[in-house]
Amino acid sequence: MYREHEPIELTDFNGLWKKGDEESVPQDHFSDGENYTFIGNKAFRTRDGLGLHQDVVVPLGNVVRIYNYITANKNTLIVLTYDGVDGKIYHVVDTTTVHGPLLTIAGMTDFGFVPYAGRAYITPFTTTVIGGLNVERGMTGQFLYVYKGDGTAARKAGIVAPVGTLGASVGAAGNSDGGHHAFAVVYETDTGALSAPSAFRSFNMTANSTISFSSIPVSPNAAVTKRHIVSTIRKTAVITDFVNQTYFFIPNATVFDNVTTTLTNIGFFDADLLEDASHLSDNYGEIPAGVGLCMYHGRMCLYTTFADISIVLISAVGEPEAFDQVDGLLIVPLDGNPITNGAELRDVLYIFKRTKTVAYTDNGDIPSTWPMTTIDDAIGTCVHGIATVIDSGSSSVNFLLIASYKGIMIFNGIYSLPELSWKISDLWLSLTRNDFRYIQMVNDSIKQVLYCALPDRRLLEGNYANGLDPKAIRWAPWRFDVKVNTIALVNIDTLIIGAEAAL
């Protein structure tokens, strides 16, 4: 009875179609299926199995978050584990070398990260429930931390201002304009962080005489390696208001240790005071923890502290530990929703909430004056919802791949529609929005594959070898015997999966 039947020949396979009823599924797609991957442009096979990345006696377990950490000479990983009580951060240098824990914080269930000059900047955060919704924000009472990449423990970024009163006296004959000056001390750490000026002293300098300093404060922080003396230009009267002054670094007035308390016979003219230190005056001594970090125009951007969920802190250029509490703020329109992510694209800083995208442009002035443009009032992303590219740990310079409530989308300054995940929109819309914090994406631009960790702890493969567009991309869900928490690419394009206990 089947002799007259003409068989349907399938020459191409284009992955999962999860959109509409089953009768609408094209013949070259699956209406359901898991654990397959693609061969070339047309065929498919069973996905690869899992192996251990670490060749050590006790590999890290209960892995919550992995980031690519680019050091001065190697591409490594920074890894968070959580045992239900403490979050612990490790530096996985290679398959056999692990440093840590570098940082242990009770209740730290996630962290934001950015590498800078070989160092790792770490901001611990967790999830709280507000009005029935999961909200990610920096941990209360916690701070931004810096790790130098050398296996030593991470420490608080920034540096608390000196305490005490600087001593001053007339020195030997030398260069001086004379007149009343205010002096202060600035600490500098081994990562280049500069404190706010403090330990103030007003002193009437004698013309044609140097000045000698005593009682230079010693910092209790072992990271301090230098102490600088700063000065105002001369005034006609005794200076009593030390705060509202402009300070400059005095040439050759640096103590190159954290022990010596004197510095003698320092001479300078006001014309020598060229390097302004006044931008340090309002800096945080301890920088509050936020949800995430990104870079923009050589500045560190930190967003969503525990107290200020709609504020972005912006550092000074080239000084990732110098955050001005007055001028270094961007306030995203208040709507009760926290900032979730941030990224630089084509010279613009984009800031995201769950359903909002805004843009800021550096106008050459202080960050608080940067103009803001609303890009979209309905589309945003989650805390790890911007794909990083291969093992660089950074996003694409030409476009961003963004996980939104609507789907995975291409963003190049505007959102492209339909969404990239258009063929599996029913699958995507069935995901639990309250768990979008589990989403993390990496883009293997060499093999032309997008990987996405899903809220249901599966992994989604999107193969775009046939084109990065909604119709050409091929989707394949993967399920494992472990809960997928986090993903990264190493050795350019080798997929690493961080997981916890078996299902």
Q: Any idea of the CA torsion for 100, 101, 103, 107, to the nearest 10 degrees?
A: 160
pTM (predicted TM-score): 0.92
> Where exactly are the structural domains of the chain?
63-157+285-383, 167-280
CA distance 488 to 411: 21
Ranges assigned E (strand) in 117-235: 119-130, 133-138, 145-147, 155-156, 167-173, 179-189, 198-205, 209-214, 224-231
Asked if 230 and 182 count as a contact pair (C-beta separation under 8 A), the reply is no
For 107-136, write each residue's pLDDT tens digit: 999 999 999 999 999 999 999 998 888 999
pLDDT at 503 over 50: no
Burial of 157 (0-12, 13-18, 19+ CB in 10 A): buried
CA distance 50 to 48: 7
Neighbours of 148 (CB within 10 A): 18
Name the residue with higher pLDDT: 28 or 11. 28
Neighbours of 383 (CB within 10 A): 25
Closest listed residue to residue 434, CA positions, set 133, 208, 72, 160: 133
pLDDT at 258 over 90: yes
Please, which residues bridge with residue 292 across strands? 303
- pLDDT for residue 53: 85
Closest listed residue to residue 281, CA positions, set 249, 325, 250, 311: 325
Confidence of residue 2 (pLDDT cuts 50, 70, 90): low
The residue type found at 222 is A
Range from 11-15, 56-60, 152-156, 429-433 carrying the lowest mean pLDDT: 56-60
User: What is the average pLDDT across 229-257?
Assistant: 94
- Give the residue carrying structure tokens 């070898």: 465
For 138-148, write each residue's pLDDT tens digit: 999 999 999 99
CA distance 125 to 137: 6
CA distance 473 to 4: 36
Asked if 138 and 291 count as a contact pair (C-beta separation under 8 A), the reply is yes
CA distance 492 to 477: 23
Confidence of residue 390 (pLDDT cuts 50, 70, 90): confident
For 192-215, write each residue's pLDDT tens digit: 999 999 999 999 999 999 999 999
Neighbours of 171 (CB within 10 A): 19
Most distant CA atoms of the chain, gap in Å: 116
Q: Any idea of the CA torsion for 172, 174, 176, 180, to the nearest 10 degrees?
A: 0
For 268-327, write each residue's pLDDT tens digit: 999 999 999 988 999 999 999 999 999 999 999 999 999 999 999 999 999 999 999 999
pLDDT at 55 over 90: no
Confidence of residue 501 (pLDDT cuts 50, 70, 90): low
CA distances in angstroms from 430 to 29, 158, 382, 474, listed in the order given? 20, 44, 16, 19
CA distance 70 to 444: 17
